[in-house]
Structure 1
Amino acid sequence: MSSNHIRLSNETNHQLVSLLGLRLIVGIPSVIIFIGGLIGNISTVFTIIRYRRTTTKDLMFYLVANLAMYDILVMLFALPITVIRKLAFTWPFGAFLCYTINGFPPFSGIGSVVTMISIVIDRYYVVLHAANPNPKEKQKGLILLALFIIALAIASPAFIFSKYDDSQSTPYCDMVFSTDPAIQIMWRRIYVTLVSVLILFLPVTFEVVLYVKILLVLRQRLKSPTARFNYAYVKAHKNTIKLMLLMTILYATTHTPLFTCYLVYRYGGVAPENVLVFQLVYIIAHLCFYCKSVINPIIYTGFIPEHKQWLLCIINFKFIRPRLSSTSILKFRKNKCTIAPVSAS
């Protein structure tokens, strides 16, 4: 998520490089997360685009697709960069990629955050205030563009202050705010604190409060259903909100260990004798962070049945490329992928 990079002494680097077990701890789970994250999120985007005129036409599904796209960016850029840095204990990509790619991990992470906030706001107004869940395509596009610009603006320091240094035996790429060591430490602490508050604590609190409020209102509506809010309608919304709340809890659970490492390292520091232990914890925290991109597509299946069918086909190794018309959907019956008609709404 953050471009923070723990710089180690040459002696410690040689000790770490010799630890094949540490490389395996990072490498094997990373490959599993990479494959699972790509398959799940690409399937999500494909499903939502495929059925955008029928079952996934609401703004919420476009936002979910946007969230999946940022998770794809995490898999393509953030995960490989992090893993290679942890395995090489240096920045092996050169100066150009330092200035162009080093900012992608925070950008993709921030993009996910602003998208999740947009989803909870959309659900709040649609469920509680009966707002239009399906605005015009142009409006949806403008919303997604605005989210992109906001994410890029917030992540801009990671691009602007990235600096490549190969003056020592182990080149590194990191954010450099000042050449004065004292000022550099101060600004790094400020940056990590702001990122922790704006990307973790405030969004999670905001989302949990709104989702709980929505659930409480839906609970009251279930007790006294009306013609406008019938039981099935309210029950469907309640199930969706529960899954969205689960996504928020997952986000907090997978991000907290990594942000804790950032804060501990920047404020408390790490004693030389504890560097190896901290590095191992730091790596595990990164892997926990990336697990979100694998689990999210599984949660999506709870409110996107077509996505569940595609994933079942892929998991069972019986995926086919169906020739679907605008009035057909993929069905999964008896371990087979078939095509069935569906009426457009």
Structure 2
Amino acid sequence: MDDSEPNSTTLDYGDYYDSTADYSPCNNSNVRDFGKVFLPTLYTLVFITGFIGNGLVAFVLMKNHNLTNLTDICLLNLSIADLLFVISLPFLAHYAAAAEWVFGDFLCRFVTSIFTLGFYNSTFIMVVMTLDRYVVIVHAHTLAHHRTLRVGMALTVFVWLLSMCISLPYMIFTQVRNDSSVLRCDYYTDSQGWKDFNILAMNIFGLLLPLLIMVACYSRIICTLVGMRSTKRHRSIKLIIIIVVIFFLFWAPYNITLFLTFLQSGKLLGNYCQREEAISFSIQVTETIAFTHCCLNPIIYAFVGQKFMRRVQRLLRNWFPCCSLLSSRDMSESSARSSVMSRPSDVTSTVVL
């Protein structure tokens, strides 16, 4: 298989099982059997939880009809990007289980496009939210007044265009081919540079650059919050640490394994069947862990916010009138506690959404 180079979208599950060596292939039947059960199961769970969580966030925000600040615009775009991402998972689950693509060339390109577009856009939106918090907290008196609706819309358009540009090679080169009487949906190109682009783009734009921005911005934010007198200061700092740590723990193992795959495909690690099998197992496990991050985004960025939770409570009261009394009592108690505690500053409120 000369064209079956591993790619960051992992659409070609044949790459998990077939050797890239020039001589007798390794016996990867254990990897094949494991992937046929593990990948569809985890993909299905991620799809269900991610679709429900992000769908609820998008519905609540669009139902509100007054996206007047950058935070709400980012939350809506983050949920839409994650929805695009998870919509592709049922197709990938079937592909992993059947080890063959049966949905045709158009859906092959379409699924790959929304997969990569959703992934990169979700990551870039998190970066925009990080920069927004940095501006509001660290430069509250100099740059915060630039957080207008027009700026929010412009940033949104820029992020989607940037995501489309990075995803464009996937849209162009992904196609269905007959490989040993088995239909594969994969990234096919004769250019080694475009093959390497997959892994380099995933590592640079999907992990390294966002992580560096998060660490740099949130470090300054924490330093600023430490000097503030706010009842929500400690909660804000904990939330910041959680955001960075979760992003790193969920995506770093996958990106490291992808880089090892890149080295293995270039025969820089040697041709050892044991090593190849270990990398194939690692790709499957770390990939699924990374994909579950989209399920956590609604919890981290939306449901921890008091403003968003009030919208959810109002929506639930409209759907389930029998629960309106209980919801009203909870909101009254929450308001009473808020009135007893000192009023948080706008800066800290921005951090906890």
TM-score by length of 2: 0.73
Residue type of the alignment partner of 1:144: T
Matched, 1:204 2:211: yes
Residue equivalent to 1:301: 303
> Structure 1 residues 292 and 17 mapped into 2: Cα distance closer, same or farther (>3 Å)?
closer
Residue equivalent to 1:343: none
Deviation at 1:200, TM superposition (A): 0.6
Residue type of the alignment partner of 2:178: D
Deviations 1:47-94 (A, max 9, x none): 2334464xx7421122022111111111111x2233222222233322
Deviation at 1:187, TM superposition (A): 4.2
Residue equivalent to 1:287: 288
Deviations 1:187-241 (A, max 9, x none): 423541243122211210111110110110121233xxxxxxxx35xx36x6446
Mapped to 2, the partners of 1:260 and 1:51 lie a distance apart of 41
Within-5 A mapping of 1:26-105: 26-51=39-64, 53=66, 57-77=68-88, 79-105=89-115
Residue type of the alignment partner of 2:258: Y
- The secondary structure found in structure 2 opposite 1:103 is helix
> Structure 1 residues 17 and 254 mapped into 2: Cα distance closer, same or farther (>3 Å)?
closer
Mapped to 1, the partners of 2:54 and 2:294 lie a distance apart of 8
Residue type of the alignment partner of 1:196: N
Matched, 1:107 2:117: yes
Question: Is 1:240–1:302's contact at 8 Å kept on the other side of the alignment?
Answer: no
Residue type of the alignment partner of 1:297: P
Residue equivalent to 2:252: 256
- The secondary structure found in structure 1 opposite 2:227 is helix
- The secondary structure found in structure 2 opposite 1:165 is strand
Deviations 1:258-316 (A, max 9, x none): 222221112124744555554333222121012111122222322245438849x9xxx
* Greater share of helix: 2
Within-5 A mapping of 1:156-175: 156-175=168-187
Deviation at 1:159, TM superposition (A): 0.9
Within-5 A mapping of 1:230-269: 231=230, 235=232, 239-240=235-236, 242-269=238-265
Residue equivalent to 1:227: none
> Structure 1 residues 26 and 164 mapped into 2: Cα distance closer, same or farther (>3 Å)?
closer
Mapped to 1, the partners of 2:145 and 2:250 lie a distance apart of 33
Question: Is 1:114–1:147's contact at 8 Å kept on the other side of the alignment?
Answer: yes
Deviations 1:5-36 (A, max 9, x none): 352449989946983x6433233333222211
Structure 1: where are the runs of 5+ without partners? 223-230, 324-328, 341-345
Q: State the identity as a percent.
A: 19
Question: Is 2:31–2:280's contact at 8 Å kept on the other side of the alignment?
Answer: no
Mapped to 2, the partners of 1:91 and 1:74 lie a distance apart of 19
Deviation at 1:116, TM superposition (A): 1.1
Matched, 1:144 2:156: yes
RMSD of aligned alpha carbons: 3.6
Deviations 1:134-190 (A, max 9, x none): 623x44333322221111112111112223211522221222331xxxx53x54235
Residue equivalent to 1:226: none
Residue type of the alignment partner of 1:172: R
- The secondary structure found in structure 2 opposite 1:221 is coil
Mapped to 1, the partners of 2:65 and 2:50 lie a distance apart of 22
Mapped to 2, the partners of 1:330 and 1:197 lie a distance apart of 50
Question: Is 2:109–2:171's contact at 8 Å kept on the other side of the alignment?
Answer: yes
Question: Is 2:264–2:276's contact at 8 Å kept on the other side of the alignment?
Answer: no
Mapped to 2, the partners of 1:119 and 1:192 lie a distance apart of 25
Structure 2: where are the runs of 5+ without partners? 1-6, 20-24, 266-270, 336-353
Question: Is 1:59–1:133's contact at 8 Å kept on the other side of the alignment?
Answer: no
Equivalent residue for 1:188, pick from 166, 189, 195? 195
Residue type of the alignment partner of 1:254: F
> Structure 1 residues 330 and 2 mapped into 2: Cα distance closer, same or farther (>3 Å)?
farther
